[in-house]
Chains A and B, each alone.
Chain A
Amino acid sequence: MDGGFAEYVAQRHQRLCRMAYLLSRDWGQAEDLVQTALARAWLAWRRIEGDPDRYVYKIIVNTHASWWRRRWRGEVPTDVLPDGADARDVAAEVGDQAALWAAIGALSPRQRAVIVLHYFEGLTLIQVADTVGCSLGTAKTQLRRALTHLRVDPDIQTLKLEGARR
């Protein structure tokens, strides 16, 4: 395979699938997203300069947003209830995590992309803005609104750490 594309796929495929799953919340669609993104990246592989991750992330985010606009998002019949109680979870924690996971699912595609890229992929907000295709201010706004919706308080961690030091 030309230019290390095969190596890149071998190394990054799983991570990309996980990231795509957090966006789409469906493993089948996530693999489809990643395959589409990698196929498009393969077409432009020789022209990609620098870290190909950014290019592939961008394709995944844009493709997901495009599919999200086109696809039916109503009631879908399924054998297994989604977002149900996980056998590994323990009572209270299960409730909290399920609520948080459900809240993530209720975010808009762009807000979800900002959350995933920032908290899962560890990108800076500047990189997030570049990947999502918006300004830094917009990325910050999207992040703040998403955190508000998720009831995630960025200051709580600090307070806990300070409490532990005391």
Chain B
Amino acid sequence: MTHTENDLRELLSERAAAGDGSPRLDDIVRRGRRIRLRRRAVSTVLAGAAVVSVVAVTAPFAAGAPQVKQVPADSARLESGPKLPKTFRVLLGAVDFTMPLIHSERFTTVGSGKTIKFTPTSYYTGNKVVCSDPRMWVLIREKLKGGKAGGSLRRCSGDGGGHHDERSAPDGWLDGPQSMKVWVFPADAPIYESGPRAKDCAPQAKKCHGKYTFRTLFRSTGVEQLEAEIGERPGSWAIGVYDSPAEPLPKPTYAPPTPEPTDTPTLELTDTPPTPEPTRAMEPESTRTVTAVPEPPRAQDPAPEPPRAEPQPPRAQDPVSEPPRAKPGPKPTRAEPVPAPTRG
């Protein structure tokens, strides 16, 4: 049986006509006032909860002054959240020493950039980020030698982190406070997966690989776009800055050799640590996951790294008396924080 629109109209009118409710204005207004009171109560409760949250978050810091006095000056670790290692081990060929934590900051949200300020005490200043979820993404952007920008993008797992040396530290590194910008994004951020995990992603590349690559995120617009897309979310992470080695390090006497035009920085963007080649094993090479940003090399800029074929001049107080290349022994090592033996 098929009906017409008129049938429908008539049926609706007919069925609706049966009712005959009389308006009760007082009831309506009374109900409206109840709704208003309820809304105000909810607003008050929410405002109170927000105040309590703020107090709870800031109280440890506000009340932390007396506690700081009780702990030794060299144990500036966090009271809660992911724990930072106390020391950072530097392994550059035969150079092996540890650096204590000199500065740390803790955050309870992810998805927005944070500027970390610190005062380096040597050229080997290192940093490490720890997160409540090891699959979170960590993006670090900082200055490199010659005014170039560098940084890294990686998951928060393992022993990721890096340190400068005299060849990567920007000019005037020891002249005063320095800063770097750090972003931590949630694990499900649409970031292109590369490195060891990319292999697991291969069969489901579309599910695994996000649209934001390291190159994209290195541009301010790219990271701002990702920030806007993700928004600030709760998530605990901390960053530690390590410096001032236990033994006074030699003053760098490194003099960069004459750059070769063809050896200007290879603008390779990687978000995983470069794998050292055996022939470069003993060179005291920075092991940061830092690469130069894709800027056209300027003629007047010295190359940040010397030609790898040439042996390094021995330092005045270098623990290794001979040029590193002459020593066949140790396997190439990279700077690794103490607790975790392998890179993530």
Show the binding face of A for B, using Cβ within 8 Å.
1, 6, 9-10, 13-14, 17-19, 21-22, 27, 30-31, 34-36, 38-40, 42-43, 96-97, 99-101, 104, 115-116, 119-120, 150-154, 156-157, 160
Contact = CB atoms under 8 A, between A and B. Distances in A.
Interface in B73-92: none
A120 B35 contact: no
Contacts of B9: 119-120
Interface of B: 1-9, 11-25, 27-29, 31-32, 34-36
A66 to B, nearest CB: 14
Nearest to A103: B3
B38 to A, nearest CB: 11
Contacts of B14: 97
Interface of A: prevailing SS: helix
Contact of A152 (B7, B15, B23): B7
B28 A96 contact: no
A45 B220 CA distance: 46
Given A42-B29, A101-B11, A160 B4 contact: yes
Given A18-B17, A104-B11, 4 more contacts: A31-B21, A35-B24, A119-B12, A151-B2
A35 B6 contact: no
The 6 A-B residue pairs with the shortest CB-CB distance, nearest first, are: A18-B16, A13-B23, A39-B32, A39-B31, A42-B32, A17-B21
B35 A18 contact: no
A34 B21 contact: yes
Given A120-B16, A157-B5, A160-B4, A100 B11 contact: yes
Contacts of B25: 1, 6, 9-10
A39 B7 contact: no
A151 B3 contact: yes
Contacts of A1: 25, 29
Interface of B: prevailing SS: helix
Nearest to A151: B2
13 contacts: A1-B29, A27-B18, A30-B19, A35-B28, A39-B29, A39-B31, A96-B1, A100-B7, A104-B11, A151-B1, A152-B3, A153-B2, A157-B5
Contact of A150 (B3, B18, B27, B28): B3
A153 to B, nearest CB: 5
B1 to A, nearest CB: 6
Contacts of B32: 38-40, 42-43
A118 to B, nearest CB: 9
Contacts of B16: 18-19, 21-22, 120
A31 B23 CA distance: 9
Contacts of B3: 96, 100, 150-153, 156
A73 to B, nearest CB: 19
Contacts of A34: 21
Given A14-B21, A34-B21, A22 B5 contact: no
A97 B31 contact: no
B124 to A, nearest CB: 60
B40 to A, nearest CB: 11
A36 B19 contact: no
Contacts of A160: 4
A94 to B, nearest CB: 12
Contacts of A152: 2-5, 7-8
Nearest to A31: B21
Given A6-B25, A36-B31, A42-B28, A115 B8 contact: yes
A120 B22 CA distance: 20
Contacts of A115: 8, 12
Contact of A9 (B11, B17, B23): B23
Contacts of B18: 27
B1 A99 contact: yes
A119 B27 contact: no
Contacts of A38: 28, 32
Nearest to A12: B23
Given A9-B28, A39-B31, A151-B2, A97 B11 contact: yes
Contact of A17 (B8, B19, B29, B35): B19
Contacts of A100: 3, 7-8, 11
Contact of A157 (B6, B23, B28): B6
Most interface-central of B17, B18, B19, B24 (chain A CB within 10 A): B19
Contacts of B34: 39
Contact of A156 (B2, B15, B24, B35): B2
A28 B64 CA distance: 60
A43 B21 CA distance: 22
Contact of A119 (B1, B5, B17, B35): B5
B8 to A, nearest CB: 5
